Structure 1
Amino acid sequence: MFNKPFGCVTARRDTLYPTVMDYFSELHNDRLNPVGRLDRETTGLLLITDDGNWNQQLTHPAYHKKKTYLFTVLGDLTEDRRQFLENGILLKGSPVPTSPAKITLFKKDTLANILDTLHPEVRNAVRTNLPSHPVTYGEITISEGRKRQIRRMMKAVHCCVIELKRISIDDIHLDESLAPGKWKEIFPFEKNSPV
């Protein structure tokens, strides 16, 4: 279980950015691989394994594993837009709508109130927006893993993801005591496993 920090890419090597696998170099295990992907700006739960079968069971679309994320979007994610996303939406460049999602909205705010809490790179990208621009917080659960799917879904309803953190994959939940960039060994196959 790895708590992926902002700014590293889910890859073995990269010429521009640090990779998630850099955090595991001390293990000297070339068989380790990330389970799925999180884009460079997304943080949170990323599983790393040397068990190819388990990796396949968690990532293959046929298994429909639920993945839950906390999000902050720049924009007003209204009730109509939420329902639109939950029912499935056509993403740009795809002829097939997304599978149904589950979205819970937590609260709304304005950009001025949260600007200082954002990662410096994100803060720089959104600073030209009006301070009164609405911001919406929530949680989304999806059962597929298209490239940058949540970001593309939100863009389709005129919202821009400014923070995205995966908190669970099926019944494996991120240990909140695990600091960004840290990892711990877990045993999800054991009956009395803490995850």
Structure 2
Amino acid sequence: MRLDKYLSQATGISRKEIHRIMHRGDVSLNGDETLNPAQHIEPGVDSVCLNGEPVGAPGPRYLMLYKPAGYVSASGDPSHPTINSLVDIPRNDELHCCGRLDIDATGLILLTDDGKWSHRITSPRHKLPKRYRVETADPIDASAVQAFLDGLKLHGEHKLTQPAELEILSSNEALVYLTEGRYHQVKRMFAALGNRVTALHREQIGPISLDPALSPGEYRELTTTEIASIKP
């Protein structure tokens, strides 16, 4: 890999700016100052320093974010703030979410730049369960539990939803467990039963739960155990 590419990917600094920095003599390779941006290096073998500080090899990144209401699950949007704008790390625009949430929904978002890892979460064939906490405008009838298990016909679709688990917590609050991710699915399932979702919060994706230490808008890196829990 070229040295300038390595530094740019690891720091988020443009390659043009990297060239300026190197010209000032602020980059060293294996302990020696270098001015050659095209010099080939071996990530993980060669030691690269910027302003005397080691620059680690760029690699895939995995984050959990507590999405607040009012943010779009995208890296860019002309009208609304995005979840990527909450993540203050280099090249945050290269991160993508593993399953979107509606703009008014809150809760767990997983972000990564590892396409294969995110595919394990979003691919329907893996049937990774997701848990949502739901509040509704009207009381939830007990018959809704069986209706969710049997599958519901959503407006504009012909195929029934996959069996889903509904756990009623109180008259207007429930937990929903889904293994698929159709457009606005939770809201549309309740709408099919003549009810309306007033609050939607995702608590869990597969084995990964939203960290209770996080507040809305905060994020942290996933642990190695959490990353490995999403199996191929």
- TM class by shorter-chain length? 0.7 to 0.9
> Which of the pair has the greater relative contact order for Cα pairs under 8 Å at 6+ separation?
1
> 1:158 aligns to what SS in structure 2?
coil
User: How far off its partner does 1:190 sit?
Assistant: 6.2
> 1:84 aligns to what SS in structure 2?
helix
Runs of 4+ in 1 over 3 A off after TM superposition: 188-193
Over alpha carbons, which structure has the higher Rg? 2
| Counterpart code for 2:174 | G
> 2:117 aligns to what SS in structure 1?
helix
TM-score, length of structure 1 as denominator length: 0.80
Report the count of equivalent residues. Answer: 166
Partner of 2:213: 177
Residue among 125, 129, 133 paired with 1:70 = 133
TM-score, length of structure 2 as denominator length: 0.68
User: How far off its partner does 1:191 sit?
Assistant: 8.9
Residue deviations 1:52-83 (CA, integer Å, cap 9, x gap): 10000000111111000001011121111221
Equivalences for residues 23-172 of structure 1 within 5 A: 23-108=86-171, 136-172=172-208
Give yes or no for contact 2:66–2:107 (8 Å, CA) kept in 1. Answer: yes
User: How far off its partner does 1:6 sit?
Assistant: 0.4
Q: Distance in 1 between matches of 2:217 and 2:92?
A: 18
> 2:110 aligns to what SS in structure 1?
strand
Give yes or no for contact 2:75–2:93 (8 Å, CA) kept in 1. Answer: no
Q: Which stretch has the larger CA shift, 19-28 or 97-106?
A: 19-28
Q: Distance in 2 between matches of 1:104 and 1:13?
A: 35
User: How far off its partner does 1:151 sit?
Assistant: 0.2
Are 1:187 and 2:223 matched, yes or no?
yes
| Structure 1 residues 52 and 179: alpha-carbon distance in aligned structure 2, compared to 1, 3 A threshold | same
Q: Distance in 2 between matches of 1:188 and 1:91?
A: 38
Partner of 1:123: none
Residue among 11, 16, 34 paired with 2:74 = 11
> 1:68 aligns to what SS in structure 2?
strand
| Structure 1 residues 183 and 88: alpha-carbon distance in aligned structure 2, compared to 1, 3 A threshold | same
Give yes or no for contact 2:67–2:106 (8 Å, CA) kept in 1. Answer: yes
Residue deviations 1:16-46 (CA, integer Å, cap 9, x gap): 1100111124333443111111110110000
| Structure 1 residues 99 and 33: alpha-carbon distance in aligned structure 2, compared to 1, 3 A threshold | same
> 1:100 aligns to what SS in structure 2?
coil
Q: Distance in 2 between matches of 1:97 and 1:191?
A: 32
Give yes or no for contact 1:172–1:188 (8 Å, CA) kept in 2. Answer: no
Q: Distance in 2 between matches of 1:155 and 1:27?
A: 41
Q: Distance in 2 between matches of 1:82 and 1:159?
A: 14
User: How far off its partner does 1:188 sit?
Assistant: 4.7
> 2:160 aligns to what SS in structure 1?
coil
> How big is the alpha-carbon RMSD for the aligned residues of Structure 1 and Structure 2?
1.7
| Counterpart code for 1:98 | T
Q: Distance in 2 between matches of 1:190 and 1:77?
A: 34
Residue deviations 1:90-135 (CA, integer Å, cap 9, x gap): 1011111000011111112xxxxxxxxxxxxxxxxxxxxxxxxxxx
Partner of 2:20: none
